[in-house]
Chain A
Amino acid sequence: MYLEFISQLGYLIGSVCFVWGLKLLSSPDTARRGNIIAAVGMAAAIIAILLAPMERGDNNFALIAGGLVLGGGLGLFMAYKVKMTGMPQMVSILNGLGGASAVVIATVEMSHYYDGSRPMSDSQLLIPLATLLIGGIAFTGSLLAWWKLEEWINDNALTLPKHNIFNLLLLAVIVALGVWLFIQGPEASFGLAMLFMGLSLLYGFSFVIPIGGADMPVVISLLNSFSGLSAAAAGLIYGNNFMLVGGILVGASGTILTLLMCNAMNRSLLNVLVGGFGGSSGPAKAQQGDLVIREVSLNDAAIQLFYSQSVVFVPGYGLAVAQAQKVVKEVDEILEKNGVDVKYAIHPVAGRMPGHMNVLLAEADVPYPKLLDLEEANDFIANADVAVIIGANDVVNPAAEDDPSSPIYGMPVLQVWKAKHVIVLKRSMRAGYAGIDNMLFFHPRNKMLFGDAKDTLGKLVGELKGL
């Protein structure tokens, strides 16, 4: 009896730690403590479940201990191995694993249900079904998101014609099969339940397939939310309140981030999921007669930056790809020494996950008061001497403001063309990830500096030191 009480207390402490930890995680000064408190909550709950008396089963503590050590070890290894530029992939993988774990649990409990060793009331059957569906989507969706982020899979390579209709039909079939399984109860077979699982896994893939590069922050936040919900659903299988609370909190935070990302692009979630960007949009008009691209030499760029009063860097996914964050910081330091006011303009959806640029710049020791949000940044840019665009494209595209035919029309962007001079660091004249031409490159105030961002910035440091 005491054991049961202690384990219940452990759950309660765990739940409070989760809420408290998340609260602290949403403020910069307390975030680290919040994360640790949440981890303590998890540890408390694991101890609680190990102590709780069971009505059946053989406990099998040795196996459990092995699993905990193995999983914990692998988790630590991954966490310390991953590069900060690989964060979006890491988050995707972790999202997927949570979903996979929930699917495995639901599968086993379903098999017990159909062989009669675990009776469930008719209504209870709804829960493992929901777990299979949500967990399945979180698992395969995250897997595909990961592959896309690693660029193992091209964004448009797998999209079927009328892919959205295919997705809708697939979802309809899954829901119909689920309802049928629910109504049939124990009369249905385990095989059909596995078909339901298979289709859910397929849907996870299929629903991420058409969503590409620039929409990645939305997808990752959404999958984050799903992995939480699948954990909550798995908790309901056991009537475990603690798992429910933890899972729902994650679901809520994932949903908030999803909505924030959608707002930042001024698009609805539905619009993102159905896919307005990328392949489906018509080719943007490019050739309008006398468009001239001006290039700037490294030396000129260095002089221009060195004698400015204020410079703003606009990082994008290209910065992450080139791993140029530390070189940017070097340029920043040299300029600061010469009395230049250096700031960074961070668009909420720059990069491939929410807050991507902040993490990279933090790794390079850029103090975060120098990072400006969209609105602050636009105020700053209006008075800045030079705006340097490093691997960003769609978030600085003027078409969002002046071209109603553009797929990104209406999305709030960084108005870099209002700075006195613009320098764009870019590998080539390829269109952005959204596949849209960027008229900024032809803007009279803009000059291009072609080459790999890290390479170019490294040379720029050399030039600046020579001044």
Chain B
Amino acid sequence: MDGFIQFFQDYLLLIYLLIFTIILGFEVISKVPTVLHTPLMSGANAISGVVVIGGILLVRQSESEDVLSMALGMVAIVLGMINAVGGFAVTDRMLEMFKKKKK
């Protein structure tokens, strides 16, 4: 129990940020029309590629001799980057189709 209280106190500011971001997220996206469900999902999906930042941090903070960290960090960067770039690109492709027949 003490551990959890400690956790709460250590991360109080982040917990605020967490809760406000949740509320903001719901507010921003709550009224999305059916036609945009897939692009919204794949666009949001691309954003979850932020995990690539973690991979970069991991590699930058590693010693060059630490082969395990370097190798796995590289894997994390590649996977995160596929998620981010692939997600944004495919969403753009989809939305381009939506666009051209609007005229």
Seen from chain A, the residues whose Cβ lies within 8 Å of a Cβ on chain B are 18-19, 21-23, 25-28, 31-32, 34-36, 38-39, 42, 45-46, 49-50, 54-61, 63-64, 66-68, 70-72, 74-76, 78-80, 82, 84, 87, 90-91, 94-95, 97-98, 100-102, 104-105, 107-109, 111-112, 121-124, 126, 182-183, 220-221, 224, 227-228, 230-232, 234-257, 260, 346, 348, 353-356, 358-359, 362-363, 365-368, 371, 373
Contact = CB atoms under 8 A, between A and B. Distances in A.
Contacts of A18: 47
Interface string B31-47: 11111111111111111
Given A26-B36, A72-B85, 14 more contacts: A42-B49, A49-B57, A66-B74, A95-B45, A98-B79, A102-B76, A108-B73, A224-B45, A230-B51, A235-B54, A237-B54, A244-B21, A247-B48, A355-B41
A183 B3 contact: yes
Contacts of A80: 89, 93
Interface of B: 3-4, 6-7, 10-11, 14, 17-18, 21-22, 24-26, 28-64, 68-70, 72-102
B77 A67 contact: yes
Given A248-B21, A358-B38, A366-B101, A46 B52 contact: yes
Nearest to B85: A75
A123 B87 CA distance: 34
Contact of B36 (A28, A54, A97): A28
Contact of A71 (B24, B45, B81): B81
A59 B60 contact: yes
Nearest to B10: A123
Pairs A-B, 3 closest by C-beta atoms: A71-B81, A252-B25, A355-B37
Contact of B80 (A71, A252, A260): A71
Contacts of A221: 41
B72 A104 contact: yes
B83 to A, nearest CB: 4
B92 A35 contact: yes
A244 B77 CA distance: 17
A346 B34 contact: yes
A212 to B, nearest CB: 20
21 contacts: A35-B91, A45-B53, A54-B61, A74-B78, A75-B86, A90-B90, A97-B83, A101-B75, A104-B73, A105-B51, A231-B50, A231-B54, A235-B54, A247-B51, A249-B24, A249-B47, A250-B47, A252-B22, A353-B37, A358-B36, A368-B98
A220 B41 CA distance: 9
A57 B62 contact: yes
A27 B40 CA distance: 10
A234 B54 contact: yes
A124 B10 contact: yes
A224 B43 CA distance: 11
A356 B11 CA distance: 40
Contacts of A75: 81-87, 89
A100 B76 CA distance: 8
A87 B40 CA distance: 13
A79 B90 contact: yes
Contacts of A235: 50-51, 53-54
Which of A104, A124, A249 gathers most chain B CB within 10 Å? A104
Nearest to A355: B37
A76 B55 contact: no
Given A224-B44, A249-B47, A64 B82 contact: no
A240 B52 contact: no
A71 B50 contact: no
B83 A84 contact: no
Nearest to B50: A246
Nearest to A45: B53
B85 to A, nearest CB: 3
